[in-house]
Chain A
Amino acid sequence: MTELSVASLLFLSATLLAIGLFGILTRRNFILLLIAVEIGMNAAILNFVYFAGFSGTSHGLSGQAIAVVLVGLAATEVAVGLAIVLALNRQRGSINIGDATTLKL
């Protein structure tokens, strides 16, 4: 198996992050926004996995552990996010973020 260079892996993460950011900044649909956030977050999780792999066992499994925790976190976040989307949809009849510019209902 060929060794992947750090640079190329980081490039992958950066690309993912860029896609996520692009989505966050441009999408007005709440669901798409959540997806974009997830993509950006996965870039960070990937980074943890890479560096955990490169650093061997010198830090135990902490990198992998954090990655797993983050995956769980992402899942809960999506759950909460979707709940908000549902509540918003019920309240405003739309899931466009342009309609939700105030913090109150």
Chain B
Amino acid sequence: MTLPVLSLMLVTLLGGTLLTFASRDRARYVALATSVAFLLEVSALLASYTVWPGPVNGSPGYADLESYSWIHLSWLSINYTVGVDGISLILILLTAFLQVATVVYSWEESKHPEAYHGLVLLTCLGCFGVFIALDVLLFFLFWEIVLVPMFFLIGVWGGPRRRYAALKFFVYTHVASIVMLVGLLALVFYSGAKSFDFASVYVAARGLSATVQTFLFLALFFGFGVKFPIVPFHTWLPDAHVEAPTGGSVLLAGLLLKLGGYGLIRWAVEVLPVGMAHLTPLLYVVAFAMIVWGSFVALAQRDLKRLVAYSSINHMGIVLLAIAVYSQLGLLAAVLLMFAHGVVSALLFMASGSVHHTFGTRDISKLGGIARTAPILATMVMVGSLASLGLPALISFPAEFTALLATWDRIGYWVLVPLVILVVTAAFYLWMMQRMLFGPARNVPATAHDLPWYETSAMAILLALIVIYGILPGFLVNVIVNSPVYGFPGFP
């Protein structure tokens, strides 16, 4: 009997979360210890993951698979089934890194630190659960777990309009969750699967007719899409980001958006390829809309956080595009880009948070000359922006390159749309830097100082990731392609 690694990790997080809630002024130490322990476990998991185990009875096989019967009826069984493949491993790695960075960044959080850190850990636990769950009900359970702590993070620690933003966030994502649940249940029952397990759903879904697949895919696309967030259901995102505390923004952009992408890949693209093929035009339209819209609206923003939020929509649009082209290359690009965007947007949101509490405002038009006042902060903003606009040797480049190449290979000159938008993306970042970092210093409060050590360390972690994986993306790529989708016949 092999070690139930994933469950142990889940227990680590759960125990850490509970301990964090319970410990009063030591909460941050507990949180940090938990995060580091989790990161070490993830590293060990990655190190032991060499190659995907191969198909099992016509369904994908997963590493570290565990399955225990949970609810068993004669006609249906619901199991606690967890397992990982290359795609989920990469996103788990992202979770672990962002968790550490967020805890470190929020080191001096003074308002109920135990609750704050506990909620951060709980969010990460939910995300981890989503990435490992291979059972419809378990997946949904973790999916919903993520919502609650995020709701409180925004609603309690947020900015002036936090109640509105938290409610908007909750309503949007919850409505989407319900549609997703209906879609998933319909998937199970229409396909006649005997269990809620991914494997049995996968096999059973092969027999679905094209029409049914299309409708199911549509429901799942909407359900996962709001988290993406697809245009025009995206307006919760800027509001949530602007009002959320920095840690909340980091998790929101870094992890929550990735849940949508992951869910779409795992539960819709892999399971319902025929349905997806029918909806490809829709996916393209939505992806292009996100890319163009996100970039253009970002250009008009004056609030740094809003700007980064809209750039997230743009980047997630490229993720969707890479998924929509439906090829191995595209899928790789999508996962790679999710990782890249997770790290880069986390860095940018941290930097926005630091700008806010150093200078008292995030309004780009009121700031200036940060490069002189706070050079480290300026460097962070600069590297984050340059990474986000796809500079080579930084993490986004290999991802965007593969995404665009995959797009070119499938739809030819349409690739000019995202390519031209790359210029607009560069424009809003450069313009922001010009106004905010450069020029004469303006509106510098007497208390302005460069970053405290914990914020520097948190951002340094992300910075290191951006550079290391930017130069050597092979680490990520080799893990990602060790996934069932890549070994399965029929996947282009």
Direct contact of A and B (CB under 8 A): no
Residues of B within 8 A of A (CB): none
